[in-house]
Amino acid sequence: MNPSQQIQVPGYRIERVLGKGGMATVYLATQMSLGRPVALKVLHDPDTPQFFERFFNEGRCIARLNHSNLVSIYDIGQGEGFYYIAMEFLPGGDLKSRIAQGIKPSQALKILVRLAGCLAYVHGEGVVHRDIKPSNILFGTDGTPVLTDFGIAKLIQADNDLTVTGTVMGSPHYLSPELAQGNRRVDGRSDLYSLGIIFYEMLTGRKPYTADSFAATLMAHIQKPLPKLPEQYASLQPILDKLLAKKPEDRFQSGAELLMNLQPLRNKKRLLLDPQDTENPTSETRSMEVAASPSKSYRWLIYPALGGFLLLSWFGFRQMTNAPDSSPTAEASNQAEASTQMAIVAPASMAEQEAPSAPISETATELEPEEVAKPTVDADTEETTSAVSPKTDLNNLLAKAQQRFAADKLSYPSSDSARFYYQAILQQEPGHPEATKGLDKIANRYADLAQIQINNGRTLKARRYLNQGLEIRPKSRRLIRMMNLLNRPVKPKSSADIFDRLAPENDR
> For 22-60, what is each residue's pLDDT tens digit?
667 899 999 999 999 999 988 766 555 566 666 666 667
Residues 283 and 222 in one domain: yes
Residues 405 and 485 in one domain: yes
Averaged over 107-133, what is the pLDDT?
89
Cα–Cα dist 310/307, whole Å: 5
CA 152 to chain centroid, in Å, comes to 21
Residues 250 and 151 in one domain: yes
Range of the domain at 58: 3-88
pLDDT at 202: 97
Q: In the listed set 56, 88, 120, which residue is the last one of a domain according to the structure?
A: 88
pTM: 0.54
Catalytic residue (choose from 45, 94, 131, 274): 131
- Give the 3-state secondary structure percentages of the chain, helix then strand then coil, rounded to 5: 45, 10, 45
User: Taking a C-beta distance cutoff of 8 angstroms, is the pair 414, 381 a contact?
Assistant: yes
Averaged over 284-301, what is the pLDDT?
34
Active site residue 274: no
pLDDT digits (tens, 9 = 90+) for 92-105: 999 999 999 999 99
pLDDT at 402: 92
CATH of the domain at 80: 3.30.200.20
pLDDT at 13: 93
Averaged over 159-183, what is the pLDDT?
67
Residue numbers belonging to the annotated binding site for ATP: 41
Q: In the listed set 88, 106, 125, which residue is the last one of a domain according to the structure?
A: 88
pLDDT at 494 over 80: no
Cα–Cα dist 264/307, whole Å: 8
Residues 409 and 333 in one domain: no
CA-closest candidate to residue 319, choices 126, 36, 456, 476: 126
Residues 83 and 182 in one domain: no
Residues 73 and 25 in one domain: yes
CA 241-215-55 angle, to 5 degrees, is 90
Other residues' Cβ atoms within 10 Å of the Cβ of residue 354: 27
Residues 174 and 125 in one domain: yes
| Position 293 in a domain | yes
pLDDT at 325 over 80: no
User: Taking a C-beta distance cutoff of 8 angstroms, is the pair 354, 56 a contact?
Assistant: no
pLDDT digits (tens, 9 = 90+) for 225-246: 999 999 999 999 999 999 999 9
| Position 488 in a domain | yes
Average pLDDT for the chain: 71
Other residues' Cβ atoms within 10 Å of the Cβ of residue 225: 8
pLDDT at 345 over 60: no
Q: In the listed set 66, 88, 110, which residue is the last one of a domain according to the structure?
A: 88
Considering only 116-125, 146-155, 215-224, 337-346, which range has the smallest mean pLDDT?
337-346
Residues 202 and 322 in one domain: yes
Residues 80 and 103 in one domain: no
| Position 114 in a domain | yes
Averaged over 292-315, what is the pLDDT?
39
pLDDT at 163 over 90: no
Considering only 343-352, 379-388, 436-445, 470-479, which range has the smallest mean pLDDT?
343-352
Query: In which band, very low, low, confident or very high, does the pLDDT at 375 lie, cut at 50, 70 and 90?
Result: very low
Cα–Cα dist 51/72, whole Å: 21
Per the structure, how many domains does the chain have? 3
